[in-house]
């Protein structure tokens, strides 16, 4: 009996010792911002040959927000960043890393992240953009996590922000009805964990890309090719066909890496591109419909901003609570795709 107690104590001590060396990137605050101008499907019916019925049936989208003239991606990002800082009870002085995931930057350079850094009054640390289109937020969370768990940085602002309205061909009904503008941000903080899946924070991340799919979803301009900004072009059916298998593959990887299953999830917060892709992915993995957070109806596809916008909505309305297990995933141009399993 005594020997058993001693062994248990040793085991507990060992766990504690290991735990003292395991850093986790914990979500400490979240915020979001949508431009004031809300555009409904009925509004779009006046601009292109489309209908509310077609858009809702094919995508689930009812509204999107469009940035005002002169309102840039960094402005949306700054609103979201300030909201996340306030939610975390922190100021810009407490942050040492800013990553902005965007494919619609204010300028070719400098980065949108440095514009945000200046706007929030942060004159130290590092700031950079990350471009992985709709997978941008999952990529940025992954990169920030690597910085934080290495011990090199203490707190990161991870922002997804887009003004895709500037990349759309407003005469092309096959794309212009799908996208919107917005921004979402989280504050990630390095905290000690025990190394178990019960820890709060980012538990595992899985990123993929395959550049052979360029022509299925791309912008037909850029500084080095056409010297123009260009317009978004998409082969919608092909994107749809790949999306479900790609995002479910990386979620299966996340479950395998953490010895968890779909049944362990409290919330599934997918990239908000299309309701049918979301439902098909959840069904394939056996994720219960009541665990899915859907906001695509209210803001359309906001690319890198869509996941933090959905997360912010579900935190604000009390669905996502500390300690709960949350899966995020996305797929986008490139193709890029990825997942992150986070204990809130
Ligand atoms: N309104 C009315 N009719 C339309 C519209 C519109 N806005 N757009 C296309 N149509 C018409 C087409 O012209 C076509 O007409 P036709 O049969 O006379 O030729 C018909 O509707 C069907 O078009 P499809 O392209 O076959 O429609 P589909 O059922 O594939 O739906 C959609 C199109 C919604 C784009 C779908 O393919 C899709 O959701 N794909 C995934 C796209 C996506 O989510 N991309 C983003 C993911 S990656 C990222 O986030 C960047």
Domain end position, chosen among 193, 211, 240: 193
- Probe target for ligand 1 pocket from 174, 182, 294, 302, with the most ligand atoms within 8 Å of CB: 174
Q: How far is the CA of 233 from the centre of ligand 1 (A)?
A: 12
pLDDT at 3: 41
pLDDT at 104: 98
Answer yes or no: is 15 within a domain. no
Whether 188 and 210 share a structural domain: no
Provide the pairing of β-strand 97-101 with 63-65: unpaired
Q: Name the residue with the closest Cα to ligand 1, atom 42.
A: 236
Answer yes or no: is 279 within a domain. yes
Query: Going residue by residue through the chain (344 aa), what tens digit of pLDDT does each one get?
Result: 344 443 443 333 333 344 456 999 999 999 999 999 999 999 999 999 999 999 999 999 999 999 999 999 999 999 999 999 999 999 999 999 999 999 999 999 999 999 999 999 999 999 999 999 999 999 999 999 999 999 999 999 999 999 999 999 999 999 999 999 999 999 999 999 999 999 999 999 999 999 999 999 999 999 999 999 999 999 999 999 999 999 999 999 999 999 999 999 999 999 999 999 999 999 999 999 999 999 999 999 999 999 999 999 999 999 999 999 999 999 999 999 999 999 99
Residue 268 CA to residue 69 CA, distance in Å, equals 34
313 lines ligand 1 (CB under 6 A): no
Q: How far is the CA of 209 from the centre of ligand 1 (A)?
A: 24
Answer yes or no: is 226 within a domain. yes
Structure tokens at 79: 């609103």
Residue 275 CA to residue 55 CA, distance in Å, equals 11
Structure tokens at 217: 């979803």
Answer yes or no: is 12 within a domain. no
Answer yes or no: is 215 within a domain. yes
Residue 237 CA to residue 112 CA, distance in Å, equals 32
Beta bridge partners of 267: 326
First-to-last CA distance in the chain?
39
Whether 33 and 177 share a structural domain: yes
CATH number of the domain bearing residue 333: 3.40.47.10
Beta-carbon count within 10 A of 292 CB = 18
Ligand 1 atom closest to the Cα of residue 301 is 50
Residue 226 CA to residue 203 CA, distance in Å, equals 42
302 lines ligand 1 (CB under 6 A): no
Whether 184 and 220 share a structural domain: no
Number of separate helices (H) and strands (E) present in the chain: 11, 13
Please give the tally of structural domains in the chain: 2
Residue 264 CA to residue 247 CA, distance in Å, equals 18
Whether 136 and 85 share a structural domain: yes
pLDDT at 20: 54
Domain end position, chosen among 193, 211, 226: 193
Whether 264 and 186 share a structural domain: no
Answer yes or no: is 304 within a domain. yes
Whether 232 and 168 share a structural domain: no
pLDDT at 11: 39
Whole-structure pTM value: 0.94
Beta-carbon count within 10 A of 12 CB = 10
Whether 213 and 180 share a structural domain: no
Helices (H), 121-235: 136-150, 173-176
Q: How far is CA 323 from CA 3, 145, 155, in A?
A: 35, 18, 20
Q: Which of 330, 324, 268 lies closest to 27, judged by CA?
A: 324
Whether 307 and 226 share a structural domain: yes
133 lines ligand 1 (CB under 6 A): yes
58 lines ligand 1 (CB under 6 A): yes
Domain that holds residue 150: 22-193
Ligand 1 atom closest to the Cα of residue 243 is 47
Answer yes or no: is 16 within a domain. no
Domain end position, chosen among 154, 173, 193: 193
Answer yes or no: is 288 within a domain. yes
Residue 334 CA to residue 320 CA, distance in Å, equals 31
Q: How far is the CA of 237 from the centre of ligand 1 (A)?
A: 7
- Probe target for ligand 1 pocket from 53, 62, 239, 242, with the most ligand atoms within 8 Å of CB: 239
Q: Tell me if the bond preceding 27 is cis, omega within 30° of 0.
A: no
H/E element, 283: helix 275-285
Whether 145 and 93 share a structural domain: yes
332 lines ligand 1 (CB under 6 A): yes
204 lines ligand 1 (CB under 6 A): no
Ligand 1 atom closest to the Cα of residue 237 is 37
Whether 49 and 188 share a structural domain: yes
180 lines ligand 1 (CB under 6 A): no
Whether 86 and 107 share a structural domain: yes
Whether 172 and 224 share a structural domain: no
Residues acting as catalytic residues: 134, 271, 301
């Amino acid at each position: 009996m005594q020997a058993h107690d001693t062994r248990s104590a040793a085991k507990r001590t060992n766990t504690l010792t290991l735990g003292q060396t395991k850093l986790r990137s914990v979500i400490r605050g979240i915020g979001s911002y949508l431009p004031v101008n809300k555009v409904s499907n009925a509004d779009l019916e006046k601009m292109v040959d489309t209908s509310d019925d077609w858009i809702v049936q094919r995508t689930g989208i009812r509204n999107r927000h469009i940035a005002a003239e002169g309102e840039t991606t960094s402005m949306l990002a700054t609103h979201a960043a300030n909201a996340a800082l306030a939610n975390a009870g922190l100021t810009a002085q407490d942050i040492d890393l800013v990553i902005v995931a965007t494919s619609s930057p204010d300028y070719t350079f400098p980065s949108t992240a440095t514009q945000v850094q200046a706007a929030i009054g942060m004159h130290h640390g590092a700031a950079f953009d990350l471009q992985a289109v709709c997978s941008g937020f999952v990529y940025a969370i992954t990169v920030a996590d690597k910085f934080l768990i290495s011990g090199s940085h203490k707190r990161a602002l991870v922002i997804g922000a887009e003004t895709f309205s500037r990349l759309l061909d407003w005469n092309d009904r096959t794309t212009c009805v799908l996208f919107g503008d917005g921004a979402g941000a989280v504050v990630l903080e390095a905290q000690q964990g025990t190394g178990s899946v019960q820890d709060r924070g980012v538990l595992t991340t899985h990123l993929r890309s395959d550049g052979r799919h360029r022509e299925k979803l791309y912008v037909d301009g850029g500084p080095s090719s056409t010297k123009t900004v260009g317009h978004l072009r998409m082969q919608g059916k092909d994107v749809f066909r790949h999306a479900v298998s790609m995002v479910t593959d990386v979620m299966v990887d996340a479950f395998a890496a953490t010895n968890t299953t779909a049944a362990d999830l409290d919330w599934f917060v997918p990239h908000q591109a299309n309701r049918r892709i979301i439902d098909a992915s959840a069904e394939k993995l056996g994720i219960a419909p009541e665990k899915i957070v859907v906001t695509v109806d209210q803001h359309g596809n906001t690319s890198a901003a869509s996941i933090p916008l959905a997360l912010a909505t579900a935190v604000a309305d009390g669905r996502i609570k500390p300690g709960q297990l949350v899966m995020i995933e996305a797929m986008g141009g490139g193709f890029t795709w990825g997942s992150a399993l986070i204990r809130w």
